[in-house]
Structure 1
Amino acid sequence: MLERAVESGSHSQIYVLVVEDSPGDAKLIEMAFDRGRTRPRLYIVEDGVEALDFLHREGKYANCPRPHLVLLDLNLPRKSGLEVLSEIKRDPHLKVIPTVVLTTSDDELEILRCYQHHANCYLVKPTSFQKFCHAIACIEALWLDAAKLPN
């Protein structure tokens, strides 16, 4: 798990769990959030099993905070993103956490499956850094700035 802490200025600290197995994409997400104004604390895990351990605060994640938002890749080792999404949305304590699928697939069936498993949003990872930053800025503006999230 990588933890990147940045002070959030006048906002209360916001926690985002990033479930991403690509170190390059994880770095892009981190860089894009660094350009934003909310500046959440990011926790980055590399597979679906770690994601669920983090969310359930088990093992080495026992003292980690509950995230306000989950950014979830689909193509993950050990447990797929769709399996993680399904477990999040079946759990009465976790299902209220907004879960944004951020993945490379634009397959219509994959998109449908994610929404059937109650994804809050599905975004295809942009291929340019500028568009990637814009996508993260949109996530930040909606989910971390405008939306009222449960504690």
Structure 2
Amino acid sequence: MTREGEREDKPIDILLVEPNPGDTRLFTESFDDAKLTNNVHTVSDGDAALEFLHRRGEYTDESHPDLVLLEPQLPGKDGMDILSEMNDEPVLRDIPVVILTSSDVGEQIVKSHGLEADHYVQKPVEPEDFLEFVQEIEDFWLSIVQQPASDT
């Protein structure tokens, strides 16, 4: 457990599921510039996201991500399918998921499918807003890391 103001030095593995190549580039560049030590893995559709999460195909050597950033509108299986499958799989259900919404109604859309994510963040529109976005993700991650482990 870390104390407030401290960070663990272990990099976090982030899976970014984003179909827009321009946004993917801005996300990864912003994470590279962030203070948070991370490894960002990117996929552009729902089928590849599930392959990564289940460590199948070209992703067999990957570890499970520490955090998933999920755009709900994807080619192939959509974000609702991915979130549903993650919730149904014991090995995946504890991975925190941040839904990347494009509008204020994004959270309601996800919830209307009977699903719940750990956090919702509105996707930046302007390139300069990506750093603020990364700071919000970093704050969310640090709040998870700083929670005391539950005794099970």
TM-score range (shorter-chain normalised) is 0.7 to 0.9
Is 1:104–1:125's contact at 8 Å kept on the other side of the alignment?
A: yes
Deviating above 3 A after TM superposition, structure 1's stretches of 4 or more consecutive aligned residues are none
Deviations 1:23-47 (A, max 9, x none): 0111111121122111310110011
How much does 1:111 deviate?
A: 4.4
2:81 maps to a residue whose letter is E
How much does 1:126 deviate?
A: 2.1
| Paired position in structure 2 for 1:110 | 109
TM-score (norm: length of structure 2): 0.83
1:42 to 32, 36, 40: 40
2:71 to 73, 77, 85: 73
| Paired position in structure 1 for 2:80 | 82
1:147 to 144, 147, 151: 144
**% of aligned pairs identical?**
36
Unaligned 5+ segments in structure 1 are 1-9
Work out the number of aligned pairs and report it: 140
Greater Rg by CA: 2
Is 1:13–1:41's contact at 8 Å kept on the other side of the alignment?
A: yes
Which range moved further: 38-47 or 101-110? 101-110
1:1-151 alignment, distance < 5 Å: 11-107=9-105, 109-113=108-112, 116-143=114-141, 145-148=142-145
Q: 1:135 is paired with a residue of what secondary structure?
A: helix
Unaligned 5+ segments in structure 2 are 1-7
Give the CA RMSD over aligned residues: 2.1
Q: Cα–Cα, structure 1 residues 122 and 113, in superposed 2: closer, same or farther, change >3 Å?
A: farther
| Paired position in structure 2 for 1:5 | none
TM-score (norm: length of structure 1): 0.83
How much does 1:105 deviate?
A: 3.6
